[in-house]
Amino acid sequence: MTSALILLLVVLLVVYTFEYINGFHDTANAIATVVSTKVLTPRQALLLAASTNLVGAFCGTAVAKTIGSGMVDTNFVSTLTIFCAMLGGIIWNLLTWWFGMPSSSTHALVGGLCGATIASAGGKWDVLIWSKEKIDAKTGAVVGMDGLLHKVIIPMISSPIIGIIAGWLFMGFLFWLIRNWRPRTINSVFSKLQLASAGYMGFGHGLADAQKTMGVIALTLFTATEAGVFEHVPAWMSFLVTPTKDVVPWVKVSCALVMAAGTWAGGWRIIKTLGHKMVKMKPVHGFAAETTAASILVATGAMGMPVSTTHIITTSIMGVGAAKRWNSVRWSLVERIVWAWIMTIPATALLGYVFYRIISALQ
């Protein structure tokens, strides 16, 4: 077995590790509200999130294609590039998880990939695909825009804003709808409805986040195939050969299962931050936040935008809390969370860049 093939297998292991960590790091996004409102126990909520994550992961590849070919010049992406990108994302995820801060695994992956690719290109920033037209392969017509600006930066800014506004509006509508209901009736009805909204949120999380790792693996296998890594592999390893950047079925299945396993492992630190410390919620508030966030995730996933599940559910909770009462939101905690968001892409890009320079210098 060649050293290049060994490195490839190590990289795949690291990518799956990232997916597993993403599962338990972002578990809170799907279940924090349903746990904090005591509709489900943590274990029951984890089972619901794991199963719905699994379903969501099979329901699209638009985001995977963006990650695999829409952000950086793949001519400068090697197996080592992806290894360093994933390493940077994993370290950042573990660091923010340790401090209970709901940062974005999505942007950790994006930042790591950008930084490592710049390093592999000798510091050339033009390897980043900032903006380009998306051309239909059959008709040759322009059908949209690709690149970091349109698929990452603009959604990174707009989706949290949409989350907080939509959460506020939806919660306001529910307050008007239930204004004459008795408290017992409200809790009874929305405890049941929150089971559906939590499942919907789990589905949206699986649709949005599992695809990102699928895209990375597709890019890894394509890069290795182009580099001739698989020229002399045994017949039983021929399934690794991928002449295009398409997401093959076994990649979908493996990513979905690994994310579901990570989700089952749970992430109580972040659950406490989102579900208990930021806003005190009842089932009606949890239903509003989950429904709002999941709807945004499904819409952006269909458009191939790798948005942050963390940003969307967090800002939806903020919007719901603000509709309840402006000072019911702990804005000092929100400020800390926002700073973690701002730092994610620069921090992981720097980590990916440094890891690549160090490892390549040692070779």
What distance in Å separates the CA atoms of residue 124 and residue 198, rounded to the nearest whole number?
44
Q: For residue 36, tell me if it sits in a domain.
A: yes
Residue 112 maps to a domain: yes
Whether 137 is covered by a domain: the verdict is no
pLDDT digits (tens, 9 = 90+) for 43-68: 787 788 778 888 888 887 777 777 77
Question: For residue 213, is it within any domain?
Answer: yes
**What is the band of 25 on the pLDDT scale with cuts at 50, 70, 90?**
low
Is the pTM value of this prediction over 0.85? no
Q: What six digits make up the tokens of 56? A: 């969501």
The Cα 67–Cα 151 span in angstroms is 10
249 found inside a domain: yes
What is the distance between the alpha carbons of residues 204 and 197, in angstroms, rounded to a whole number? Answer: 10
Averaged pLDDT for residues 322-349: 78
pLDDT for the residue numbered 1: 59
Closest CA to 208 of 122, 276, 296, 131: 296
Percent of the chain with pLDDT over 90: 21
Chain centroid to Cα 56, Å, comes to 12
Q: Are 320 and 279 in contact (CB under 8 A)?
A: yes
Instruction: Please say if the pLDDT value at position 148 is more than 80.
Output: yes
Q: Do residues 287 and 194 touch, judged by C-beta distance below 8 A?
A: yes
Asked if 92 contacts 103 with a C-beta cutoff of 8 angstroms, the reply is yes
Structure tokens at 162: 């949409």
Which residues, including other chains, have CB under 8 Å from residue 1's CB and lie 6 or more apart? none
CA atoms within 13 A on the CB side of 1: 9
Give the whole-angstrom CA distance, residue 238 versus residue 224.
Answer: 12
Q: How many structural domains comprise the chain? A: 1
Average pLDDT over residues 90-110: 81
In the predicted structure, residue 30 carries a pLDDT above the cut 90: no
| 27: in domain | yes
Helix boundaries (H) for 206-308: 211-226, 249-265, 268-272, 283-302
**Angle, CA 44 vertex, CA 42 and CA 45 arms, to 5°:** 65
Structure confidence at residue 159 (pLDDT): 85
**pLDDT for residue 301:** 84
- Please check whether residue 139 lies inside any domain of the structure: no
What range defines the domain where residue 152 resides? 3-129+146-362
The predicted model gives 234-259 an average pLDDT of 82
| pLDDT exceeds 90 at position 168 | yes
- Report the pLDDT averaged over residues 196-211: 85
- pLDDT of res. 124: 92
Q: What is the pLDDT at residue 26? A: 67
The angle formed by the CA atoms of residues 252, 97 and 274, to the nearest 5 degrees, is: 95
CB burial of residue 44 (10 Å; 0-12, 13-18, 19+): middle
Encoded amino acid at 58, one letter: F
pLDDT at residue 277 in the model: 54
Name the DSSP class of 154.
H
How many C-beta neighbours within 10 Å does residue 11 have? 25
pLDDT level of residue 87 (50, 70, 90 thresholds): very high
Q: Tell me how far apart the alpha carbons of residues 345 and 109 are, in angstroms, rounded to a whole number.
A: 8
Task: Give just the sign of the alpha carbon dihedral 178, 183, 189, 190.
Answer: positive
Q: Are 28 and 290 in contact (CB under 8 A)?
A: no
Is there a domain that residue 108 lies in? yes
